[in-house]
Amino acid sequence: MITQKMKYALKALLALADEAAQAKPQSLTIEEIAKRSGAPKRFLEHILLEVRNAGVIGSIRGRSGGYVLIKKPGDISISELLRTIDGPIAPLPCLSRRAYQRCEDCSDEASCRIRKVFAEVFWSYLLIIESLTLEDMLRSGAVADQVIGV
């Protein structure tokens, strides 16, 4: 399950990606991103700083400053963003590739039935989530709009 913080990050990035697709894209202030994304302004500042530090967006100072995408939507990995915002995505610490920890109560990982079951589910999830990009989310929204007749 993704956190509310991650949902706000995705909504903000979608707003920035929509702006980047315009004929004359401009940087967006936090206020404008909050308005377009529906994410609360008070949370966005911290979230956008994390996303900026991850090299996904850039900030422009000054009167006409704000935030802009510095990566193409197709190059923004949803799984990497999840890890940046929410931390490890594995359901058990012993399944994490980047934050592996042995479970305190486990005497033998090789024979652990809990680990085996969750590993199968997690690897299936990883195959899907690691293939997704922000561009997929942008296309998904366009398809959904067509289906519901917007």
Is 143 within the bounds of a domain?
no
Cβ-count burial of 83 within 10 angstroms (0-12 exposed, 13-18 middle, 19+ buried)?
middle
Q: Would you say residue 126 has pLDDT above 80?
A: yes
Asked if 8 and 35 sit in the same domain, the reply is yes
Residue 41 lies in domain = 4-73
Average pLDDT over residues 30-45: 94
Residue 74 CA from chain centroid, whole number:
13
Mean pLDDT, rounded, of the chain: 89
Domain tally, the chain:
2
Q: Would you say residue 146 has pLDDT above 80?
A: no
Read off the pLDDT band of 99 (50, 70, 90): confident
Q: Which residues, listed in sequence order, are joined to residue 67 by a DSSP beta bridge?
A: 28, 59
d(CA 107, CA 12): 44
Query: What is the end-to-end Cα distance of the chain in Å, rounded?
Result: 28
Asked if 97 and 58 sit in the same domain, the reply is no
- Estimate the share of the chain in helix, then strand, then coil, as percent rounded to the nearest 5: 60, 5, 35
Is 145 within the bounds of a domain?
no
Asked if 51 and 10 sit in the same domain, the reply is yes
Residue 141 pLDDT? 61
Q: What pLDDT digit, counting tens, does each position of 68-84 carry?
A: 999 999 999 999 999 99
pTM over 0.75: yes
Q: What pLDDT digit, counting tens, does each position of 41-72 carry?
A: 999 999 999 999 999 999 999 887 899 999 99
Q: Would you say residue 147 has pLDDT above 70?
A: no
CATH number for the domain including 14? 1.10.10.10
Q: Quick check: 68 and 58 in contact, CB under 8 A?
A: yes
The residue out of 44, 73, 102 marking a domain boundary is 73
Residue 102 pLDDT? 87
The residue out of 47, 73, 99 marking a domain boundary is 73
Residue 143 pLDDT? 41
